[in-house]
């Protein structure tokens, strides 16, 4: 079964401000890169299931490692790692990657963009995503963001519903068409 189907079949629950499953969220460090890479790769592979124009590159792992290394050194970026508890204690089970960006034509002048948010399937639908979003939003605000946005594939209905439930609405769209090779 694909992750997309597995995730969708989980029973719905009502998320609260605190997650109903205990987790620990912290700012990621270099030591977290090895466990964070597979989570980012799983997210990109999930996106590939939604849209053939998001076909994952063969060097996706190296790219994920490089992006994380870059983000950890970037004062405008945020990488949060979520750890499980009990048997999953010290195991990274989720990630958020976000950045503060300039809005050169609009006000507020800085926006905080959630680029990637991913939780292992067992931890979903229990308010953990909401908690990660709150934590990331608070940190983006501290960095001066006056607006929080989220980038995700249009066809990713999980993300669309997740964000819509939290008051996000589409403000710009990226439309694509493949080009034939010469």
Ligand X SMILES: CC(C)(COP(=O)(O)OP(=O)(O)OC[C@H]1O[C@@H](n2cnc3c(N)ncnc32)[C@H](O)[C@@H]1OP(=O)(O)O)[C@@H](O)C(=O)NCCC(=O)NCCS
**Residues at the interface with ligand X (CB under 6 A):** 7-8, 12-13, 15, 43, 46, 116-119, 124-130, 152, 156-159, 161-162, 165
For ligand X, the closer CB: 16 or 74: 16
CB of 122 to ligand X, least distance (A): 10
CB of 55 to ligand X, least distance (A): 17
Please give the order of strands across the beta sheet that includes 110-119.
Answer: 24-27, 77-83, 92-102, 110-119, 148-150
For ligand X, the closer CB: 41 or 158: 158
CB of 76 to ligand X, least distance (A): 19
For ligand X, the closer CB: 72 or 158: 158
Distance CA 123, CA 130 (A): 12
Structure tokens at 76: 């405008």
Pick from 141, 139, 149: which is nearest to 28 by CA?
A: 139
CB 97 within 8 A of CB 71: yes
């Amino acid at each position: 079964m694909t992750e997309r189907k597995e995730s969708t079949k989980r029973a719905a629950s009502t998320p609260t401000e605190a997650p109903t499953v205990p987790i620990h969220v912290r700012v990621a460090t270099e030591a977290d890169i090895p466990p964070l890479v597979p989570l980012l790769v799983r997210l990109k592979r999930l996106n590939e299931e939604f849209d053939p124009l998001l076909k994952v590159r063969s060097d996706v792992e190296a790219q994920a490692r490089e992006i994380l290394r870059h983000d950890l050194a970037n004062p405008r970026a945020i990488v949060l790692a979520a750890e499980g508890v009990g048997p999953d204690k010290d195991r990274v089970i989720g990630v958020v990657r976000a950045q503060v960006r300039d809005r050169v034509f609009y006000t507020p002048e800085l926006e905080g963009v959630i680029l990637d948010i991913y939780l292992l399937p067992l931890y979903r639908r229990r308010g953990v995503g909401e908690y990660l979003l709150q934590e990331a939003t608070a940190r983006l605000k501290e960095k001066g963001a006056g607006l929080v946005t989220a980038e995700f594939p249009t066809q990713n209905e999980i993300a669309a519903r997740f964000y819509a439930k939290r008051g996000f609405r589409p403000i710009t769209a990226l439309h694509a068409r493949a080009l034939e090779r010469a």
